[in-house]
Chain A
Amino acid sequence: MQDELFAARDLTIALPGSQGSMIRIVENLSFSLAPREILGIVGESGSGKSMTALAIMGLIDVPGARITGSMLFKGQELVGLGARALRRLRGREIAMIFQDPMTALTPVHTIGWQIDEQIRAHESLSRAGARARTIDLLGEMGVPDPRRAADRYPHQLSGGLRQRAMIAMALSCNPSLLIADEPTTALDVTVQAQILDLLRRLRHNFGSSVLLITHDMGVVAETCDRTLVLYAGNVAERGPTGDIFAHPGHPYARALLASIPPLHGVRPSRLLSIPGQPPSPAERPAGCPFRPRCPQAHAQCEQTPPMVRRGEQDIACVLAAPEPVQA
């Protein structure tokens, strides 16, 4: 499709394990992102969601790591792209924010100085011009009194303000793709609500697409247009968020949703829980990775599951609806 901003196809990320083996952290991952779209990648710890983000940014620096498949950004292939070309994209075209803003901000400079630097690294702008843009950005991110805030050091700001400063920095060059890796996990709910509100407005104010990586199904439901559910490095299901939450097709997606205690309505006497735990990347079973924990597993699950199309959903399960798509 032409109108895609980003498309990953059969993306596989393998890291060297012990005794020369390669451990596949992410396997055959395919997804696409349209302009101004918010796509959620949701999964439990170890599902490979953060690895995917780092791969897009070209930030996997493990010696011997092997990335195969394809990642097209505005038609340009990112897999195998040189460091120089990547650096030109990073920050300007693709930006990333993290769970802990302190990892992205240096403690020895004011946040204003740091955002100025970022702007000046990518655009020829005077110091005063950069600072004016910085103050505008901080204001747009909902930082009260942005002129004063720009002169503060990261440790002088609260968690919510630091997160806003980091988002301001990420957006300083108007990237078309913002990757947000658990951006609200460390925040309190009332502050999380503010930041999610901000992310939802980015597409209008900045025209940015957002790849939101989270473990929180609630955050996905409230923020993302489309959702990709990862399990053990593989796509379990992807499709429009509303469809997935209303009719989850994969047994894992179904169980995951059912295991969340509800805030409203009937309170179950016991929660539905998934027995066992996700396999570590080195110990994934052959065939469907969810098979050992799946209540509906049978002999066919020992083969790699087909990607089944149901409406606009893609479900990696043999039991999902009839019409399989050709892979």
Chain B
Amino acid sequence: MTPIIEARSLGKHYRVAGGGLFGQSRRTLRALDNVSLHVMPGETLGIVGESGCGKSTLGRCLLRLTQSSSGRVLFEGEDITTRSERALRRLRPRMQMVFQDSYASLNPRRRIADLLSEPMRVHRQPSGAPHDRSFIAQRLRDLLDLTGLPISALDRYPHEFSGGQRQRINIARALALQPSLIVADEPVSALDVSIQAQIINLFTDLRETLGLTYIFIAHDLSVVRQIASSVAVMYLGAIVERGGTDSVLHAPAHPYTAALITAVPEPVVSAGARSRVILKGDVPSPVSPPPGCRFHTRCPKAEARCSVEIPALRPLVPAPDEALHEVACHYPLHPASNVPDRYATG
């Protein structure tokens, strides 16, 4: 089977003002560094990491909303890295994006009917024929139905809706052209918990009904665990660990992943103190990432080798039975030794 989307050694570099009185010496910020991944049809890949780790840049580069600096992007096996905007337009209907800020994504002066039908007015049908009026009218009703919005929504404006409902509108618009891939960048992080659950359920339902493939970018590990079949963990522009969701989150092999998981405050009050790894300091600047392993400055397990040699992403030995589990660490935590009983899946 061909992956629906694939990245090969993707890099994105920005030139930023560096030292000097007028910032005349320019430096390079490596937002993405040698990132490779692929997503199979029907799969949901969760991309997690802290702010500035490059997860949003990765999402944008995959859809070519941002032009990558190096590496290649393949959509359904076709290399789209250097495609012209014109040539890309044919593929755009198949790949859509949902953003975090539901209000900023919707033009406040346009009614929901206009917002939802715009993609159909801009793009043609796969056959090449324009979408006609009756098709659009029917499609609008279907979209509202799919996303749980009332038919009365069509004549209203974005500000008349709550954050959760506006996110439904954004999802409906992303679905208008029947895409196969949706990249969702922190789609629920601005919502209250009770509303967040509604939207996560909506994503789950739509995946089942429409056979969608998602790339779900989020900083919240429990949200990602709920929706994703596989997970990639990013740190300072690189993937440090990836594999099946359960494998990565229950038996993390990278010390960073382990720290990230134990740092999540859980809504459970337990009698004993949790064993937790509290990392020292903050994420270093991506303009001057540490040499060797980028995590070594905060890593509780770092050794001399880690500050010199960049660890490659390689499969765990022995490989767990499910999907491939890979880690970029010289001294990975042995998965078996890191699985206390409470991590066992029920």
Contact = CB atoms under 8 A, between A and B. Distances in A.
Contacts of A194: 278-279
A212 to B, nearest CB: 12
B269 A221 contact: yes
Contact of A263 (B204, B264, B283): B264
A242 B264 CA distance: 18
Contact of A189 (B204, B205, B260): B260
A255 B194 contact: yes
Interface in A234-284: 241-242, 245-246, 255-257, 259-275, 277-278
Contacts of B263: 189-190, 192-193
Nearest to B266: A218
B322 to A, nearest CB: 14
B125 interface: no
Given A44-B194, A190-B279, 11 more contacts: A144-B281, A188-B51, A192-B263, A218-B267, A256-B194, A264-B342, A265-B346, A268-B226, A274-B194, A274-B197, A277-B164
27 contacts: A159-B282, A188-B219, A190-B279, A192-B263, A193-B262, A193-B265, A193-B279, A216-B265, A217-B193, A217-B267, A218-B265, A220-B267, A223-B265, A259-B193, A259-B194, A260-B197, A260-B222, A261-B200, A261-B223, A264-B250, A264-B343, A265-B342, A267-B225, A267-B226, A269-B204, A271-B201, A274-B197
Interface string B182-214: 000000000011111110110011000000000
A101 interface: no
Contacts of A131: none
B264 A221 contact: no
B206 to A, nearest CB: 13
A154 to B, nearest CB: 15
A261 B196 CA distance: 10
A312 B222 CA distance: 30
A263 B50 contact: no
B197 A273 contact: yes
A262 B282 CA distance: 26
A161 interface: yes
Contacts of B164: 277
Given A189-B263, A218-B264, A265 B345 contact: yes
Contact of A192 (B197, B198, B250, B265): B265
A221 B265 contact: yes
A242 B282 contact: no
Nearest to B52: A188
A33 B343 CA distance: 36
Contacts of B223: 261
B259 interface: yes
Contacts of B264: 189, 218, 263
Nearest to A274: B194
A271 B197 contact: yes
A319 to B, nearest CB: 19
Contacts of B222: 260-263
Nearest to A271: B197
Contacts of B268: 221, 245
A55 interface: no
Contacts of B306: none
A91 interface: no
A-B pairs, top 4 by smallest CB distance, nearest first, are A218-B265, A261-B226, A273-B197, A188-B50
Contact of A242 (B195, B269, B276, B345): B269
Among A159, A262, A266, A268: residue with most chain B CB under 10 A: A262
Interface string A153-177: 0000011110000000000000000
A45 B192 contact: yes
A215 interface: yes
B162 interface: yes
Interface residues of A, number: 51
Interface string B276-304: 10110111000000000000000000000
Interface of B: 50-51, 162, 164, 192-198, 200-201, 204-205, 219, 221-223, 225-226, 249-250, 259-269, 276, 278-279, 281-283, 342-343, 345-346
A191 interface: yes
Nearest to B50: A188
A266 B219 CA distance: 21
B interface majority secondary structure:
helix
B269 A245 contact: yes
Nearest to B164: A277
A125 B262 CA distance: 43
A222 interface: yes
A222 B193 CA distance: 18
Given A189-B264, A190-B279, A271 B192 contact: no
B47 to A, nearest CB: 15
Contact of A260 (B193, B249, B343, B345): B193
A106 to B, nearest CB: 22
A166 to B, nearest CB: 15
A219 interface: yes
Contact of B193 (A160, A246, A256, A269): A256
A138 to B, nearest CB: 15
A123 interface: no
A264 B266 CA distance: 9
B345 A259 contact: no
Given A158-B282, A192-B263, A263 B194 contact: no
A158 to B, nearest CB: 4
A260 B50 CA distance: 20
Nearest to A244: B269
A221 B266 contact: yes
B225 A257 contact: no
A260 to B, nearest CB: 5
A222 B192 contact: no
A34 interface: no
B52 to A, nearest CB: 9
Contacts of B162: 277
A266 B283 CA distance: 32
